[in-house]
Amino acid sequence: MKRLLAALAMITTTATAQAEEVTTFTLDNGMEVVVIEDHRAPVVVHMVWYKIGSADEPVGASGVAHFFEHLMFKQTDILESGEFSATVAANGGSDNAFTSYDYTAYFQRIAADRLELMMQMESNRMTNLAITADNIATERNVVLEERNQRTENNPGALAREQFNAAQYQNHRYGVPVIGWKHEMEQLNIDDALAFYDLYYSPNNAVLVVAGDVQPDEVRALAETYYGVIPSEPDLPERIRPQEPPQRAERRITYTDPRVSQPYLIRSYLAPERDPGAQEEAAALVYLAELLGGSPFTSDLGIALQFDTQTALYTNASYDGSSLDTSTFSLAVVPTSDVSLSEAEAAMDQVIADFLANDIDPARMDSIRTQLHASEIFALDDTQGLAHRYGAALTQSLTVADVQAWPEILQSVTEDDIKAVAAKVFNRDQAVTGWVVATQEDAR
Amino acid sequence: MFRSFIALTLALFATTASAEIDIIEVTSPGGVNAWVVEEPSIPFIAVEIRFRGGTSLDLPGKRGATNLMMGLLEEGSGDMNAQEFQTAREALAASYGFSAYDDSIGVSAQFLTENQDEAIALLRQALIEPTFDRDALDRVRAQVLANIASEEKRPNSIASTAFYSAAFGDHPYGTNSDGTVESVNRLTQLDMHDAHQRALTHDRLYVSVVGDITAAQVGPMLDTLLGDLPAQGPELPNDIAFGLEGGTTVIDYDTPQAVAFFGHAGMKRDDPDFFAAYVLNNVLGSGGFESRLMNEVREKRGLTYGIGTYLVPKFHAEMMLGSVASSNATIAEAIAVTRDVWADTATNGITQAELDRAKTYLTGEYPLRFDGNSEIANIMVGMQMIDLSPEYVTNRNDYIEAVTLEDANRVARELLQPDNLHFVVVGKPEGLN
C-alpha cells in the first residue's frame, strides 16, 4: 500500500531515547567520542562523523563534500581502492557513508569483536588517502549518475532544489548537497585534496561506537588508532554566511510534464535546536504535529481531507536538527477538481484559524504520549541512537542537549506553541512553490 | 493450556558473529500457531501477521480490491469512524501497518506493554469489524488513483510494469496490484467486504510476536485478536511460467537518465540448488561494491550509481531480476557490459576466491539481521510463510557453507541464460533500437 506520494515524504518529528547507556570523552587531539552500550546482540556500529558538510564547501565547488565521501573508499597508503569495503564484507559486515549540509559520516555495522579492525582502517583513511586523477574522472561520472537518479529523473526533487535556492538568500543551505550539475562536472583533484587536508582531522571529528562494547575498551582502542593522529592546527572556525533579514515573499511555479499530480509546498525559515536553547524547536515539533502530523487528527487533515474534499494529502514538517536556521514546511496535494490557488487559500485559512483559536488540551496530551512512547521504541534501534548523537554533535549540540531533549519536549505548553507559530508564520520569510505538469495547471 | 509448547534455543554461530534467540512455538487455545521470542528489556511488543494470498486473490474485474481494502482497515471500524479510530490509536501511541503484496497481506503492530490490552482490542476491531464506509472508500480511492497516476510517470514503474505484463499477461503477476483507473473507480463497499472475507482467513495465517511478553500470554492475546476471522479462503491462483523471451524493449520517455529493468526465469525457493544460486547471485550482482556487475559497470566505467540483481522466488513463479540506470548516452554501454558479465559468468563460472568471499560475507551478515524486535518478528513470519522450521536460524549458515565451487558453477550454467535476458528500457536511450 503506497498511498502517500513518495515525493512528499518528510520527517515530522525527532525524539531522543531517555534510557540509553552513554559514555563520552575527548581524546587529547580533540576527537570527541560517544559510546552507547547495547548488549542484546554481539554487534557494533562504528561511525566517524566529520563536522563538514555541503554547506561548508567553497563557492564554485558545490558537491565536493559528497564527491569526497565517495573518494574515501579509494586507495590509501596501505589499502587498495575498494579494499576498505571488501574487508568489511569479508568480515561479515556492511559499510557505507552519507553527506548532508552539516556533516559527512562513515559507518560500519559488524560483529563486535571486529571493532579494532574497523578503527584501524577508518583511522588510516582519515589522513592517508592516496587518490589519483583517474579515480577522480571515473567517480565523478558515478556521482553525476547519482544526481541523475536522485534529482534529474525526479521532478519533485528538481522542484525542491528551486524552492531551497529561493528560501536561502545567502546561506549555503540553498545549494543542493549533491551539487549543481555544472559545478560537479568541474570538480577536480585539487578541490578534493584541499578539502581533505583541511577538514579530515581528529579535532574536526566525532567517533560514535554503539552496541556490545565496554567504554574502557573503546577508549583504549580509540587512543591507539585515532589518538595518535595529530590535530589540524589550521582548522578554521566554523563560520558560515548567515541569512540577512528576509523582506519579501518568494513564489515559484515549477513546470515539468513528468509531474502526475499538481501540488504546493510552503516553507518558512524556522529556528533550529541550539545548545542550551531547544525550547522553540521543541514547540515547533508540536506545531508540525498539530497542523499536519496525521491526516486524521491534524488541523490540515481535518479541514482539507475530512470536513471538505479539498486535498488528497496534507502534511506539515519540521526538522530541528540543523546547525543553522532550519525551515518549517507545509504541503498540500489538491483533489482533482480543486485548483492550487483554492488549496492554498484553504491551507492559509487553517493557519489563520490555528493562530486565532485555543489548542485542544486532549491533542497536547496525545502528542506528549506519542513522543514519550517514541523514546521507548527508539531504544530498539541502536544505529538510530548512534545517528542521533553523531548528528547532534556535528551540529553544535552537546551530549547534555541530546539527553535534555525528551524532557524539553514533554514540557512544551500551548503558549510556547502559539508564540513560536506567530514568529514563524511570516510570509516575508517564506517560499510558496507550485509544482505542475503544464501552465494550465498553475491556477 | 497449549496444544504444543516447544522451546528451542537457537544459536547463530557464524564465522564472525554469533547471536542467540529463543524461538518458542505456541498454539493458542483457539488454534492459532505463532512463533514467539521473549525480549523483556524494552517495554514494548512487536507483532507481525501475514495471510497468504494477497492481491492475487482479486476477482476478475476487481483488480485493486485487496489493495484498497487493506488501505481502509485503518479508516473506520466498529462504532468508530476514521478519525475516531486514529485518535484512539494515537492516545495509545500504538502503531499499526497494513500492507498488500502479490502473494500475501501484512499486518504489523508495535505497542507498549503498559497498554497492550487496549492496543490489541483496537487492532482487533480494525481486522474483524472494518466498516468500509462510503466517505472513507471515496477518500482512499482518490489516493490510490493518484498513486496509479504517479506510477504511470515514474520511469522505474513504467519499466517494471511493462516487464511484468509481458512476462505474465493476464495472471495477477502481470498487472498492477493497485488496479487500473477503471477497475478502482468501479469498486464498491460490497467489493471491500468481499475482499476482506477472502484475504484474512485462518487457513492462511502466520504470526510472530517479539518483545516484553511471555509465551504463555501470547495464545490468549492472539485468540482475542484473530479468533473471529473466517476459517477458509478461496483458491489461490495457478502457477505460471515466465513468458518473456530474450531481447530489448525500449519505451520512449523524455527523461535524462534511462532506467533498465531486466531478467529471465529464476529458481524456486525450495529448489535444492537455491543456496548455490543465492551465493552465485551475491557474486554476480547483489554483493554491494564487490559484485561483478557493480565492479564492471560502476567502479571501472562510472556508468551508473548502482546496479543490482535479485533472485525473486514468488509463490507462483520465479525470476532472476536486475535493474540499472544510466544517462541516455551511456545506457547502451551499461547494458552491453551487463550482458557480457552475464554470459561470462554463465560460461566460465566464478572463482574459488569469489565464492569464499561471498560465503564469508553472507554468513557474517546473517546474525546482524536480528537486531530489533520488529526485525526479528519480520524474519520469523517470513520463515513460516516459506515453510522453514525454527532450526533454520541455526542451520542456515551451514547451507551457505556447504555450497561448493562445482555447485555454484553448475548452477551458473543452468540459471544464467544470457540469450533469454530481456531488458525493458525507459528513456531516450542512444544506440538501442
Q: CB–CB of B364 and A41 under 8 A? A: no
pLDDT of B3 > 80? The answer is: no
Sign of the alpha-carbon torsion through B78, B82, B83, B89: positive
Residue A127 at interface with chain B, using a CB cutoff of 8 Å: no
β-strand pairing of B76-77 with B80-81: antiparallel
User: Is B271 exposed, middle or buried (CB count within 10 Å of its CB: 0-12, 13-18, 19+)?
Assistant: middle
Residues of B in contact with A139 (CB under 8 A): 302
CA A217 to chain CA centroid, Å, is 31
State which amino acid sits at residue A32. E
Q: CB–CB of B14 and A5 under 8 A? A: no
pLDDT band, very low/low/confident/very high, at A41 (cuts 50, 70, 90): confident
Closest-CA residue of chain A to B330: A145
pLDDT in tens, B316-334: 999 999 999 999 999 999 9
Contacts of A282 (CB under 8 A, 6+ apart): A320, A405, A408, A409, A411, A412, A416
**Alpha-carbon span B271 to B275, nearest angstrom:** 9
C-alpha cell at B28: 493458542
Question: Measured between CB atoms, which of B150, B155, B255 is closest to A261?
Answer: B150
Q: CB–CB of A376 and B67 under 8 A? A: no
pLDDT of B20 > 80? The answer is: no
* Interchain CB contacts (distance < 8 Å): A and B: 201
Q: CB–CB of A153 and B255 under 8 A? A: yes
Question: Measured between CB atoms, which of A93, A137, A336 is closest to B364?
Answer: A93
pLDDT of A402 > 60? The answer is: yes
Residues of A in contact with B82 (CB under 8 A): 296, 306
Residues of A in contact with B364 (CB under 8 A): 91-93, 110-111
Mean pLDDT of A355-381: 96
Q: Residues A192-213, buried b or exposed e (16+ Cβ, 10 A)?
A: beebbeebbbbbbbbbbbbbbb
pLDDT value of position A19: 60
Question: Residue B169: left if φ>0, alpha if ψ -120 to 50, beta else—which one?
Answer: left
pLDDT value of position B288: 80
pLDDT band, very low/low/confident/very high, at A1 (cuts 50, 70, 90): very low
Q: CB–CB of B90 and A369 under 8 A? A: yes
Question: Measured between CB atoms, which of B143, B150, B302 is closest to A260?
Answer: B150
β-strand pairing of A32-37 with A43-50: unpaired
Of how many residues is chain B composed?
Answer: 433
**Alpha-carbon span B127 to B111, nearest angstrom:** 16
Contacts of A216 (CB under 8 A, 6+ apart): none
Nearest of B262, B281, B268 to residue B318 by alpha carbon: B268
C-alpha cell at B406: 562445482
In chain A, DSSP finds a helix count (H) and a strand count (E) of 15, 11
What residues form DSSP beta bridges with A107? Answer: A47, A96
Compute how many other C-beta atoms are within 10 angstroms of the C-beta atom of residue B411: 23
Question: Measured between CB atoms, which of A2, A93, A297 is closest to B147?
Answer: A2
User: Which element (helix H / strand E) includes B25?
Assistant: strand B18-27
Q: CB–CB of A259 and B363 under 8 A? A: no
**Alpha-carbon span B49 to B105, nearest angstrom:** 8
Range 228-257 of A in CB contact (< 8 A) with B: 257
Q: CB–CB of A42 and B303 under 8 A? A: no
pLDDT of B9 > 50? The answer is: no
Distance from CA of A381 to the nearest CA of B (A): 6
The secondary structure of A364-375 as a DSSP string is HHHHHHHHHHHH
pLDDT value of position B21: 83
Distance from CA of A294 to the nearest CA of B (A): 9
Contact present, A315 and A330 (Cβ < 8 Å): yes
pLDDT in tens, B242-286: 999 999 999 999 999 999 999 999 999 999 999 999 999 999 999
Mean pLDDT of B420-431: 98
* Strands annotated E in B28-81: 33-38, 44-52, 76-77, 80-81
Does ipTM come in above 0.85?
Answer: yes
Lowest mean pLDDT among A14-18, A87-91, B351-355: A14-18
**Alpha-carbon span B314 to B168, nearest angstrom:** 13
The conformation of residue B170, written as its DSSP 8-state character, comes to T
**Alpha-carbon span B74 to B69, nearest angstrom:** 10
Contact present, A382 and B371 (Cβ < 8 Å): yes
Residue A9 at interface with chain B, using a CB cutoff of 8 Å: no
- List Cβ<8 Å contacts ≥24 apart for B224-229: B224/B120, B224/B121, B224/B124, B225/B120, B225/B123, B225/B124, B225/B127, B226/B30, B226/B32, B226/B49, B226/B124, B226/B127, B226/B202, B227/B30, B227/B32, B228/B124, B228/B128, B229/B127, B229/B128, B229/B200, B229/B201, B229/B202, B229/B205
pLDDT of B1 > 50? The answer is: no
Percent with pLDDT over 90 in chain B = 93
Please report, to the nearest 10 degrees, the dihedral formed by the alpha carbons of residues A13, A18, A22, A24 taken in order.
60
Angle, vertex CA A338, rays to CA A337 and CA A339, nearest 5: 120
Contact present, B97 and B109 (Cβ < 8 Å): yes
Question: Residue A30: left if φ>0, alpha if ψ -120 to 50, beta else—which one?
Answer: left
Q: CB–CB of B372 and A380 under 8 A? A: yes
Contact present, B179 and B52 (Cβ < 8 Å): no
Contact present, A153 and B255 (Cβ < 8 Å): yes
Nearest of A65, A193, A73, A87 to residue A125 by alpha carbon: A73
Closest-CA residue of chain A to B71: A1
Mean pLDDT of B345-363: 96
User: Is B312 exposed, middle or buried (CB count within 10 Å of its CB: 0-12, 13-18, 19+)?
Assistant: middle
The secondary structure of A35-85 as a DSSP string is EEE--SSSEEEEEEEES--GGGSPTT-TTHHHHHHHHTTS-BSSS-TTHHH
Contacts of A400 (CB under 8 A, 6+ apart): none
Closest-CA residue of chain A to B156: A153
User: Which element (helix H / strand E) includes B356?
Assistant: helix B352-368
**Alpha-carbon span A90 to A92, nearest angstrom:** 5
Contact present, A231 and A30 (Cβ < 8 Å): yes
pLDDT value of position B290: 86
Angle, vertex CA A105, rays to CA A101 and CA A110, nearest 5: 155
pLDDT in tens, A177-199: 999 999 999 999 998 998 899 99
- State the best of A139, A380, A438, A441 to mutate against chain B, taking most chain B CBs within 10 Å: A380
pLDDT in tens, A268-319: 999 999 999 999 999 999 999 999 999 999 999 999 999 999 999 999 999 9
**Alpha-carbon span B80 to A181, nearest angstrom:** 52
Distance from CA of A272 to the nearest CA of B (A): 26
Percent with pLDDT over 70 in chain A = 96
Residue A39 at interface with chain B, using a CB cutoff of 8 Å: no
pLDDT in tens, A238-252: 999 999 999 999 999
What is the pTM for the complete model shown? 0.93
pLDDT band, very low/low/confident/very high, at A174 (cuts 50, 70, 90): very high
The conformation of residue A135, written as its DSSP 8-state character, comes to H
